[in-house]
Structure 1
Amino acid sequence: MTAEAAQRWGSTLDSVVVYEQGAVCRRLARGSVPSDGRVRVTGLPRSLDPGSLRARVLGAPGVRVSEARVEVEAEPLGTSAPDELQHKVEQLRDEYAAAQRRREHLLSLIEEVRALHPVPPARKRDDPHRRTPVDAWLELADFVDERLTGLHTRLVEAEEALRRIQHELDIAADRLARASTDAPSAHVETTVSAFVIVDLSGAGDVSAHPDAEVELELEYGVPGAVWVPAYRLTHRQGDLGGRLVLRASVAQRTGEDWTDVSIALATADLRRGTELPKLRSIRIGRRQLASSPSGWREPPAGLADLFAGYDAAGPRPATTTAVPVAAPSWPVPPPPPLSPAPQAYGAPTGAFPVPGSAGGAFPEAFTGAMPAAAQPVQAPDRRRSGGQTFAAPAPMAPAPPGGAAPPPPPPAPAAGPPQPSGAELDYAGLVLYGPDEPGGRRGRLFPGSPFDPVAAEYRRRAESVSALRLPGHSVRPRESAGSFDHRFDPAARADIPSDGTWHTITVGEIPVGLHTEYLCLPSLETTVYATLVLSNATDQALLAGPVEVTVDDDFLLTTALPTVAPGGVCQIGLGPAEGVQVTRRTNLHESTSGLRNNTTVLDHRVHVELANRLSAPITLEVRERVPVTSEPDVRIVERADWTTPEDGPGSDRRTPGTRVWRVDLPVGGTAVLDGGYEIRIPAGKALIGGNRRS
């Protein structure tokens, strides 16, 4: 099938669903279907996952897609369309190398001039000592000084030019790394398209009008897309609600720019297996041989004679230097008999069986060709003649040196017809191997496609976004979602280029309940802390992530929001509230009681003063602590109106001995809290010299 044999349709990216890693893209194409139904839809990215292409017809009952596969075309670009960023980086690298060579040359000259010094001539034994003229010494020193001054000036200029070029090179390289990958190479333009066959036999209206347009939907998966949630919380003091805006930081390097597309966000794992197991029936009775699948035939006899002329022509001229490998002296056996390769001539006309696992990985034995000398000894082939099944004799391996016995032949295969797998029935995914392949593969169809290093490099580059550094307080959605998966659909379309950097989009507003609480632990410190109590009123969980808190139109801080289940409640700390003042004083009085003064009484008095200097009334929660004893003879008697804290977000109910005062303070109001407790210790339980008062 050539590129001109099918009608070309352009496509538009309509929507994208971004998962924890990877995305599923949806493209729409519209056009008139030709009489043969063969259409080529262009615009697909080079990094799409093999086997993930799905196609269907929208809005045309009876019209269906009978076949869809991915095809790649490449053609050289003209010199009029170079990659400017890449060209600039290469140019700056050449300039940097030239500047570095100039600097090294100047350094070598400086070392040569610095090494100049006067050398007296060789004196014979009978010659008297000769005096060196002082003027010669001074002239040499002036010459060296003048040359060094000029060379150092040029060196400073060269180093400055080297730093400037290096700075420009760093900027250009950073722009090239951050540039969108939705651009052709500087030399070759690759076009990835979907070859689709549309069946119009079941559509009466469409087939009667050849000019009628049909809309196709293409769906495919791509790696190289990640997202993390983020929030913006707006609250006004005194209100019982607020605005929580869900945002998302999305990064993608899929090779295509997402321009004006509808983006959905999901926490599911895109590569999680979803295939159901097959439950086979249990039969009681005589054994029945499995029937051969429809659309499959065994290879014909004499297939090896097809390449007799090719082998007689001799070996092909070698284009590269290779290490010669000795070929075995025995004939190479055919491939394994339990899964023979289906042949193109064995498929019925117009039949396209659906593979059992579309997009799944093929067995390793079919992923590529091995050299003849590296081929393992395979099981003998089964052939049928006259309704009977027999096994061809296995080739005899040469005896190893030393006269040792050869290894035993492999066991004969089980009786019955071969059972090809679902991958072997996927005719669109079969590859015809050429005459240079080993004898068991040449001229036969096997599942899988040859390794494409270009596509592998595109996918490797796309998957590099998974190593991006997360924004502050961000958590991977798969980690915070727990055992459940959620999907969030933004209300507006967005633009995200394929540059591998974080881009923030707005998902929507989430209704939440908010109220402010104030908390103080004066026994530790007298600072009052403000907290926002947030309740999730939706049927979806709030994922963990950073939240920007704004109170009364003033930005306060950016903190971490934990995962909040539907109907759950959490606390967000806002920091100290400087407008609320707390003062605490304590008093301890020690005495004895009892008939013989055999009980020590430690009377602790607590006095707390509160003052509200804020512009709104508040509810302040003051927490104190009471000693806890495990001795039955030691009693603790409380004398205060405090209570035990209730269950709630951030509560200290699990901490024994915690007591709480809840006081409503109006604007400018004050309050005084008095409490205390007595510790009654029998004389036999007292610690002499111990610190029992703390």
Structure 2
Amino acid sequence: MKAGTAGTAGRWGSTLDSVVVYAQGALCRRLAGGSVPPDGRVRVTGLPRSLDPGSLRVRVLGAPGVRVTEARVDVEAEPLGAGDPDAARREVERLRDVYAQAEARRDRQLSLIAEVGALRPVPPARERDDPRHRRTPVDAWLELTDFVEERLTGLHTRLAELEEAVRDAEHALEVALDRQARASTDVPEAHVETTVCALLTLDGTAEGDVEVEVEYGVPGAVWVPTYRLTHRQGDGSGRLVLRASVAQRTGEDWTGVRLALATADLRRRTDLPRLHSVRIGRRQAAPAPPGWREPPAGLADLFSGFDAAGPSPAPARSGAAGAVAVGGAAPTPVAHAPVAPAPAAPPPPPAPQGFGGPPGALPVPGAAYGAPMPALSQPSGPQPPGGRPGARARTRGRAESGAEGSGMERAAAPVPPPVPGPPQPSGAELDYAALVLSGPEEPGGRRGRLFPDASFDPVAAEYRRRAEAVASLPLPGHAVRPRRSAGSFDHRFDADARADIPSDGTWHTVTVGEIPVGLRTEYLCVPSVEQTVYATLVLSNATDQALLAGPVEVTVDDDFLLTTALPTLAPGGVRRVGLGPAEDIRVTRRTHLRESTSGLRNTTTVLDHRVHVELANRLARPVTVEVRERVPVTSDADVRIEERADWTTPEASEGPDRHAPGTRVWRRELAAGATTALEGGYEIRIPTGKALVGGNRRS
């Protein structure tokens, strides 16, 4: 990826139309259009600096006769025009100076207070040969004390003003630093604006303008679901509004975009596993890899003229002896030693060549988005000293220069021995758009062959590193990452309206849409644990999409009640959401135990437990109350438990609503202002020689 210029390519401006935010990262789609120039080369501007070059995809909209034959990323650098992009930084620097000056004035005032506070009366020295001390007037001592007190009072008053000024300056500096940290990364930080473009080559004819869609992936975008639930007591339905807290630091502001949220992992691999056969018998030759082609015959003869001409002269350097004459004299010729030819070595197996592949082929199918390119395969040969070839030409025929090291050093580079078997090209070597033609100054095993461009853009890497830091943002209360709550399935939610999300790396809440849910209010109590009735909302998901876990703001009868956690609710699932204690429904529980013996010889101990529960409804509407009790369970064949109550055994369930063994349930409908009493009990019959753990009288 090189910095380019406009050249003869047409420039099309682009507009961000839609964004799909995944669990981490996003796919952005831009629309651009215009007239196609005669050479078919178009430059689409407006792309962010943090985009992944391997994720660029382009397609033509509404023009069947036009197709995209090449698409690659290019970078331009231009000086900024009017405006001050670093105004926030300048304000921070100015406030730092103000804060430092305020601290300096405060420190000077403290030093003055210390000097004045150190004033002490000193008695006069005695004269020589006079054994008596000289007396000091008391008025002088008192005048000095009054002076110090008056001076310290004024200094401390001024110190209070200076400390207040220091606090104000510190607060202003903190506000400016916070504003600078939250500033949108869409604004460049320097006076040079770096513009990322998509260079397209269009083939075909079309009447009028052509519109294209540019898709690319960017890191630095995360989201978590949130909800707002509105319910009216007595109704069997409610309004559940799905919202999303989205944070992005991709380097471009999303203004008026169609937003979609997905739980899938944008970086996961999608290639399928391949099962190789196990062959018994004669060894078969491995098939040639796809996209590979034998190099043309006589490739080494193409560079015979270059070798006969000898090495190119070294560039003249200012100040070097014999390089440039002083005072207009003729330059002194510099002698060059002949370069010894490289030792003969068997050529390595041919590296993968993109001669038969399309010029705009995509990376290897199934590669993970944002995953690093695999290392070059062994048959590709070593990289030259310096890491970059000297004279190269891209597949489109443009020559490039910039060698590091002399031709003599390159000719002396060792060539590894060939590896038996067919070549094994990597995914980077099958990316035809990134292949570079090695020049004649390369070692013998690389000359005239295609290899991946190993150039590295540190600026783009820094942009992507800062963008990915948004994944470490602290989550809002009760929020859960979508990949954790979605489980093994992936879901997508499309927002009903367009949204604006600046690139500042902070959470922004957007409304996605309304989800119809079934709601009913039920009251639950477990009086054996706590004699309090709790209000709950039973949610049923009748849609074909799951409701992911997240915080939900509950509003009942237009009054905000609380914010609680909503568990993941699968399609068709039912979950209970707690709303807190219901003070208008009272419950009271009393127990009674009677112990006796039975049997011919009183060999069986009978423990008769009685449970009495009273419910009182003080609401102005009927309610449904579920009372949960427990019955002992045993695995001992000598112990029998007989129940005497009209309670029921709850159905087996999983998750948070799973009931413990021995749970029994009463469900009662209470009218407004009504009361009811529930009677239950059970008998435990155990042999006389046995006893319950903790005593037989334990309830």
One-letter amino acid matched to 1:494: A
CA shift digits 1:113-153 (9 cap, x unpaired): 54555778998986766637547766766665565455444
Contact 2:359–2:433, Cα closer than 8 Å, also in 1: no
Q: Return the match for 2:160 from 156, 160, 164.
A: 156
Contact 2:375–2:426, Cα closer than 8 Å, also in 1: no
Paired residues for 1:94-493 under 5 Å:
94-115=97-118, 131=134, 133-134=136-137, 148-200=152-204, 203=205, 206=206, 209=207, 212-276=208-272, 293-294=292-293, 300-301=302-303, 308-311=311-314, 313=316, 355-356=363-364, 361-363=372-374, 412-414=417-419, 421=426, 423-424=428-429, 426=431, 428-430=433-435, 446-493=451-498
CA–CA separation in structure 1 for the residues paired with 2:84 and 2:484: 45
Q: Return the match for 1:89 from 68, 88, 92.
A: 92
CA–CA separation in structure 2 for the residues paired with 1:480 and 1:456: 31
CA–CA separation in structure 2 for the residues paired with 1:336 and 1:516: 83
CA shift, 1:533, in A, is 1.7
CA–CA separation in structure 2 for the residues paired with 1:544 and 1:609: 36
CA–CA separation in structure 1 for the residues paired with 2:447 and 2:316: 16
Contact 2:606–2:686, Cα closer than 8 Å, also in 1: yes
CA shift, 1:652, in A, is 7.8
One-letter amino acid matched to 1:268: A
Contact 1:335–1:440, Cα closer than 8 Å, also in 2: no
Contact 2:348–2:445, Cα closer than 8 Å, also in 1: no
Other-structure match for 1:571: 576
Cα gap change, 1:339 to 1:616, in 2 (>3 Å)? farther
Cα gap change, 1:554 to 1:434, in 2 (>3 Å)? farther
SS at match of 1:60: coil
Deviates most, 674-683 or 515-524: 674-683
SS at match of 1:73: strand
The TM-score, its normalising length taken from structure 1, stands at: 0.80
CA–CA separation in structure 1 for the residues paired with 2:615 and 2:440: 93
CA–CA separation in structure 2 for the residues paired with 1:286 and 1:186: 61
CA shift, 1:537, in A, is 1.4
SS at match of 1:95: helix
Q: Return the match for 1:28 from 6, 18, 31.
A: 31
CA shift, 1:522, in A, is 2.1
CA–CA separation in structure 1 for the residues paired with 2:164 and 2:44: 54
SS at match of 1:3: coil
Contact 2:226–2:244, Cα closer than 8 Å, also in 1: yes
Aligned pairs, number: 643
CA shift, 1:53, in A, is 1.0
CA shift, 1:411, in A, is 6.6
CA–CA separation in structure 1 for the residues paired with 2:98 and 2:440: 50
Contact 1:519–1:529, Cα closer than 8 Å, also in 2: yes
Contact 1:519–1:621, Cα closer than 8 Å, also in 2: yes
One-letter amino acid matched to 1:233: L
Other-structure match for 2:665: 660
CA–CA separation in structure 1 for the residues paired with 2:345 and 2:376: 9
CA shift, 1:681, in A, is 4.0
Contact 2:295–2:350, Cα closer than 8 Å, also in 1: no
Other-structure match for 2:560: 555
One-letter amino acid matched to 1:497: P
Paired residues for 1:508-657 under 5 Å:
508-648=513-653, 654-657=659-662
Q: List alignment gaps of at least 5 residues for structure 2.
A: 321-338, 389-409
Contact 1:338–1:420, Cα closer than 8 Å, also in 2: no
Contact 1:606–1:675, Cα closer than 8 Å, also in 2: yes
Other-structure match for 2:56: 53
CA–CA separation in structure 1 for the residues paired with 2:248 and 2:201: 31
One-letter amino acid matched to 2:216: Y
CA shift, 1:104, in A, is 3.0
Other-structure match for 2:332: none
SS at match of 1:684: coil
Deviates most, 104-113 or 541-550: 104-113
Contact 1:372–1:438, Cα closer than 8 Å, also in 2: no
Deviates most, 352-361 or 106-115: 352-361
SS at match of 1:461: helix
Cα gap change, 1:602 to 1:413, in 2 (>3 Å)? closer
Cα gap change, 1:669 to 1:155, in 2 (>3 Å)? closer
Q: List alignment gaps of at least 5 residues for structure 1.
A: 318-328, 376-393, 398-408
CA shift digits 1:643-681 (9 cap, x unpaired): 222234789875333222222212222222222233344
One-letter amino acid matched to 1:7: G
* Alpha-carbon RMSD: 4.4
SS at match of 1:165: helix
Q: Return the match for 2:6 from 3, 7, 14.
A: 3
SS at match of 2:267: coil
Deviates most, 288-297 or 84-93: 288-297
Q: What percentage of aligned pairs have identical amino acids?
A: 69
SS at match of 1:170: helix
Cα gap change, 1:113 to 1:475, in 2 (>3 Å)? same
One-letter amino acid matched to 1:301: F
CA–CA separation in structure 2 for the residues paired with 1:630 and 1:508: 52
Deviates most, 28-37 or 94-103: 94-103
Cα gap change, 1:67 to 1:278, in 2 (>3 Å)? farther
One-letter amino acid matched to 2:174: D
SS at match of 1:271: coil
Contact 1:333–1:440, Cα closer than 8 Å, also in 2: no
CA shift digits 1:212-260 (9 cap, x unpaired): 1000100000111000011122222232222222111111111111111
Cα gap change, 1:352 to 1:240, in 2 (>3 Å)? closer
Deviates most, 218-227 or 121-130: 121-130
Other-structure match for 1:67: 70
Cα gap change, 1:4 to 1:117, in 2 (>3 Å)? farther
Indicate whether 1:501 and 2:497 are aligned: no
Contact 2:54–2:363, Cα closer than 8 Å, also in 1: no
One-letter amino acid matched to 2:303: A
Deviates most, 165-174 or 540-549: 540-549
SS at match of 1:588: strand
CA–CA separation in structure 2 for the residues paired with 1:353 and 1:554: 59
Deviates most, 225-234 or 330-339: 330-339
